[in-house]
Chain A
Amino acid sequence: MTESAIVSAAITEWTASGEPTPSLMDRLASVAVEALRRAKLRPRDVDAVIATTTALPFDNPSFITISAQHFAHRLASKIGSHGMKCINVCGACASTAIAFATADAMIKSGYIKTALVVGADNSPRGFYYQAPSVLDTDLATGYPHKVVGITNPSYWAMWARRRAYEMGKPVEDIKELMALVKVIHSEYGARNPYARYRKVFTVEEVLKSPVVCDPLHLYMIAATSSGAGAIVVADMERAKKLTDKPVKIAASAIGGPLSNEPAPRLVHFATAGGGRAVRPFTEWRRAIEEAYKQAGITAEDIDIMEVHDTNCFNTINWIDQAMGWEREETDKLIRKGEIRHNGRLPVNLSGGTASFGEAVQCQALMMIHELFLQLRGEAGERQATKKLRVGLCTAYGAYGSYGAIIVEKAW
Chain B
Amino acid sequence: MSKEKRKVPIVDGLFTWPSDEPRLIGSRCPVCGSVQFPKSNVCNNPDCDHSKEPEQILLSPEGTLYSYTIHRYDLRPPFDYHKAPYAIGAVELPEGIIVVGRLTTTDEEKLKIGMKVRLKVGELYSEGENAYLTYFFEPVEEVRK
Contact = CB atoms under 8 A, between A and B. Distances in A.
Nearest to A271: B98
B67 A275 contact: no
Given A139-B14, A140-B38, A275-B98, A150 B88 contact: yes
Contact of A158 (B35, B69, B73): B69
B140 interface: no
Interface string A254-292: 000001001010001111111110000000000000000
Q: Quick one: which of B11, B71, B82, B99 has the most chain A CB within 10 A?
A: B71
Given A140-B40, A148-B88, A161-B113, A210 B73 contact: yes
A162 B113 contact: yes
B98 A273 contact: no
A278 to B, nearest CB: 12
Contact of A147 (B97, B108, B134): B134
B17 interface: no
A153 B36 CA distance: 24
A161 B67 contact: yes
Interface stretch (A93-101, A211-219, A329-337): A211-219
A159 B96 contact: no
B102 A149 contact: yes
A144 interface: yes
B75 A149 contact: yes
A215 B67 CA distance: 12
A395 interface: no
B30 to A, nearest CB: 13
A207 to B, nearest CB: 14
Interface residues of B, number: 44
Contact of A148 (B34, B40, B102, B114): B102
A157 B72 contact: no
A147 B13 CA distance: 12
B90 interface: yes
Interface in B83-126: 86, 88-90, 95-102, 108, 113-114
B6 interface: no
Contact of A276 (B35, B72, B96, B101): B96
Contact of A165 (B36, B67, B89, B95): B67
Interface string A208-251: 00111111100000000000000000000000000000000000
Contacts of A149: 71, 75, 79, 82, 86, 88, 102
Given A214-B108, A271-B98, A275-B97, 20 more contacts: A127-B75, A143-B11, A146-B10, A146-B11, A148-B88, A149-B88, A153-B73, A154-B71, A158-B66, A158-B67, A158-B88, A162-B66, A165-B113, A213-B69, A215-B69, A264-B66, A270-B37, A270-B100, A273-B35, A274-B34
Interface of A: 126-127, 129, 139-140, 143-151, 153-155, 157-159, 161-162, 165, 210-216, 259, 262, 264, 268-276
16 contacts: A139-B11, A139-B38, A140-B36, A143-B11, A149-B86, A149-B88, A151-B71, A151-B73, A158-B88, A210-B73, A212-B71, A259-B45, A262-B98, A272-B45, A273-B33, A273-B36
